[in-house]
Amino acid sequence: PWDSLESLVTSLEGEDKGVFLDLLRGLLCWLPEERLAAAQAYRHAWLRGGGAE
């Protein structure tokens, strides 16, 4: 299923793409207990630095 998500993100490459996809996967988890909480998402590398650190 993640291959589909990766194919949708075409404007990023390399590590930036990986960090962004990591955030999306965390936000889109079906089970709430596996999903990123708001505070976790806020501290995610993508939102803190705009991409890979």
The pTM for the full model equals: 0.78
The pLDDT of residue 53: 46
The pLDDT of residue 7: 81
Write down the domain spans for the chain.
2-49
The pLDDT of residue 1: 53
Token pair of 40, please?
Answer: 């976790």
Q: How many CB atoms lie within 10 A of CB 27?
A: 13
Give the chain's residues under pLDDT 50. Answer: 53
CA angle 40, 30, 1 (to 5 degrees): 105
